[in-house]
Structure 1
Amino acid sequence: MGQYFATVARGLEAIAAQELAELGAGSVQPGFCGVAFAGDRALLYRVNLWARLPFRILMTVAEFPCRDAEDLYEGVQGVDWGEMVPPDRTLAVTATGKTQDLNHTHFTALQVKNAIVDQQRQRQGERSSVELDNPDVRVNLHLHQDHATLSLDSSGSSLHRRGYRPAVGLAPLKESLAAALIRLTGWTPEQAFFDPLCGSGTLPLEASLMALNRAPGLHRDRMGFETWPDFDPALWQRLRQEAEAMQLTTLATPIGGCDRDRDIIIQARSNALRSGVADQVQFQQQDLSQVEAPAATGILMCNPPYGERLGKGSDLAAFYALLGDVLKQRFKGWTAFVLSGNKQLAQAIGLKSSQRWPVYNGTLPCQLMKYDLY
């Protein structure tokens, strides 16, 4: 059984823990910006393939007390790297967190790399080359309160990069955050889903991938663990084939979005094509003032501009008031969810929210507000 840690956006730890438990993870424990869990190799592969909320899945290698550079070097040297990082594999080290003495992540990462390659030279007479962008093995060190955790990064590039979205608008919502927001709403694929301010389409696309039971990891070029010495290609192939066999081909209800910018709708359609749902998800160029509900009931969700992000200098208060009017007049019977990073603008919607969730969009504190529309 391996010990793992899924890194997630701040504020999403509890909902990510729920997702991991559903995927079969054991000993699930939410922490700060992540969730610890346990499982076998098949679970590690399955979580990388299926989890929609995490950024990375780290496999814990060792933990030790660590106050300064000497503690760090000795702690890293105390691990047997022989089978995890043979000299013929390229290596990269990332460091996060700090102690009073180790407060420069570049120096910390260098110290970890030195300890590993020194051990390789002593025991095998040769050492790994460093490859920062696309290493065979990425080692992660996290420092917190004079304690070090060493891990291997099983994901490679961040899992939020599904592989379907080279085309993004000016203010893209990360796919993992979009999936988390949809999950918070309690939406199910039997309900229509609509985003009247869809940008490059992330919210409707994530909803459609959930509804069609498409594993988000299927679009990715490579997982980090595929270049580990103990990689099991037969197991990975089997899990991918199972995921492909579980996909549905048609949506039960409409999923779509619109945006007033023609070029952005072209991007959204291009992203839908890449994710294999172009024939399922409807994207239309339409101004917010012209929007009509695509079904009698459903979930409306949007991430309007909030000054920090887009539209500085434009009259955003009037735009939010228009959004409130459209929700009231044209979406009776629906439930609406609006993500905003600006409380004053949110008040301009002119509706009373029935529930609010604090979430972070990157480093920006936001609120997801729920409106029951009668």
Structure 2
Amino acid sequence: MENFKMIAKTFFGFEEILAKELQLLGAQNVEIGTRAVSFKGDKGFMYKSNLALRTALKILKPIYYFRANSDLNLYKGIQSMDWSKYLNANQTFVIDTTIHSDYFKHSQFVSQKAKDAIVDQFRERTGQRPSVDKDYPDLRINIHIDRDQVSVALDTSGASLHHRGYRTATNIAPINEVLAAGMVLLSGWDGNSDFLDPMCGSGTILAEAAMIACNIPANINRKEFAFEKWNDWDNDLFDQIVESLLKKVKEFHYTIKGYDKAPSAVSKAKDNIKNANLDDYVTIEQQNFFDTKKETVGPLHMVFNPPYGERLDIDLERFYREMGDTMKQNYPGTNAWFITANLEALKFVGLKPSRKIKLFNGSLEARLVKYEMYEGSKRTKFQTTEGN
């Protein structure tokens, strides 16, 4: 099978860990872009990357490039491609467009123009035409216009890859699965210590941490990928790839635990962990973090997503102060990482972060911060309160 270029889309701040994931998976010609990493691989690798990548939102397969600075040029460019390679007249398709161009202002208009070009080509050749289906198309086409450069790609994934397939129940402010996986990977978690999410919500961080620890493919529970509807879909090859990935699953010898004070969150998290077939690795308890102490001996790895006050009504100053006090007094020997979009609230933690990484949670600019709680006498030496 021949290799071809693909582009994995991701969130801002995850480009390097996505590139590392791709290299470990065996990708070739890995190149980092903005919110994207390009690479080369064959059809089997296309299946593999969709199944296994934790920090990719979509895998695109570019199929054509041309230049256009007008509607007519765009129409002609799309018409110059042979669409019968990818689509039959009785199938459905949809076009997603992103534009950064002075020549084209509206993505919807570009999608419409490109659709006309494809439909007209079929009508002229066969007298029939494929139709548009926005929800369950046989083919998803992605058009990206940068100034006058038009890139046409096939969307190999379909729905965003953060739809892992295990999360049926969510609470008030669920974290995106790809964001959760990226945070856990950025925190350096490798499955070689105990893990705690003290405010686990619907359990997403716990599920991603367990899959990373056991090397379980991120999208093994997902119901479908776009490439399964393609004309060249190879079911046997896909099954082989799944089997080879599952052979690399490894044992895990520590604990992964989640707390939440809301009974509804606890029951949702338990359901989601069960759906992901991870209940052998993850335990969840109804606990208020501020009333807990470290239960395990040895290093503890903590990753969580505390409320920011965006969607939950809380006294942020008091909440973040209590968070800092609990970590400092009750959790020695812990590396604690959390994400917040409320940069003011960080002042109230009362500890100095040893790392700050800029990320986005949805449209909100956020920071992933790390606090190191030392064992014994080292604690007092390093943990000075500071107000910035």
Query: TM-score under structure 1 normalisation?
Result: 0.96
Q: Does 1:320 align with 2:355?
A: no
Note if contact 1:67-1:99 (Cα within 8 Å) is conserved in structure 2.
no
Tell me how far apart the structure 2 counterparts of residues 373 and 98 of structure 1 sit (CA, whole Å).
45
% of aligned pairs identical? 35
Tell me how far apart the structure 2 counterparts of residues 189 and 11 of structure 1 sit (CA, whole Å).
22
Q: Could you report, residue by residue, the CA deviation over 1:30-56 in whole angstroms, capped at 9, with x for unpaired residues? A: 112211111111111100010011111
What is the identity, as a one-letter code, of the residue corresponding to 1:343? L
Q: CA deviation at 1:121?
A: 1.7
Q: Does 1:24 align with 2:26?
A: yes
69 and 299 in structure 1: CA distance in 2 versus 1, 3 angstrom threshold: same
The DSSP-based 3-state class of the residue aligned with 1:200 is coil
Q: CA deviation at 1:125?
A: 2.6
* 2:191 alignment partner, one of 183, 189, 192: 189
Q: Could you report, residue by residue, the CA deviation over 1:99-151 in whole angstroms, capped at 9, with x for unpaired residues? A: 22321111111111111111112223321121110111100101112211100
Note if contact 2:27-2:39 (Cα within 8 Å) is conserved in structure 1.
yes
Q: Corresponding residue for 1:367?
A: 367
Note if contact 1:136-1:224 (Cα within 8 Å) is conserved in structure 2.
yes
Q: 13-22 or 219-228: which moved more?
A: 13-22
Note if contact 2:270-2:284 (Cα within 8 Å) is conserved in structure 1.
yes
Note if contact 2:92-2:138 (Cα within 8 Å) is conserved in structure 1.
yes
Q: CA deviation at 1:331?
A: 1.2
RMSD, matched Cα:
1.3
Q: Corresponding residue for 2:381?
A: none
Q: Which runs of 5+ in 2 are unaligned?
A: 375-388
Q: CA deviation at 1:156?
A: 1.1
Q: Corresponding residue for 2:74?
A: 72
Equivalences for residues 64-213 of structure 1 within 5 A: 64-213=66-215
Tell me how far apart the structure 2 counterparts of residues 182 and 198 of structure 1 sit (CA, whole Å).
13
Q: Does 1:246 align with 2:251?
A: no
Note if contact 2:342-2:366 (Cα within 8 Å) is conserved in structure 1.
yes
Tell me how far apart the structure 1 counterparts of residues 245 and 17 of structure 2 sit (CA, whole Å).
22
Q: Could you report, residue by residue, the CA deviation over 1:257-312 in whole angstroms, capped at 9, with x for unpaired residues? A: 1011000110000000100012320111111221222322221111111122422x
Aligned length: 371
Tell me how far apart the structure 1 counterparts of residues 51 and 20 of structure 2 sit (CA, whole Å).
16
What is the identity, as a one-letter code, of the residue corresponding to 1:13? E
Note if contact 2:103-2:147 (Cα within 8 Å) is conserved in structure 1.
no
What is the identity, as a one-letter code, of the residue corresponding to 1:259? D
Note if contact 1:98-1:105 (Cα within 8 Å) is conserved in structure 2.
no
Q: Corresponding residue for 1:277?
A: 278
Note if contact 2:156-2:227 (Cα within 8 Å) is conserved in structure 1.
yes
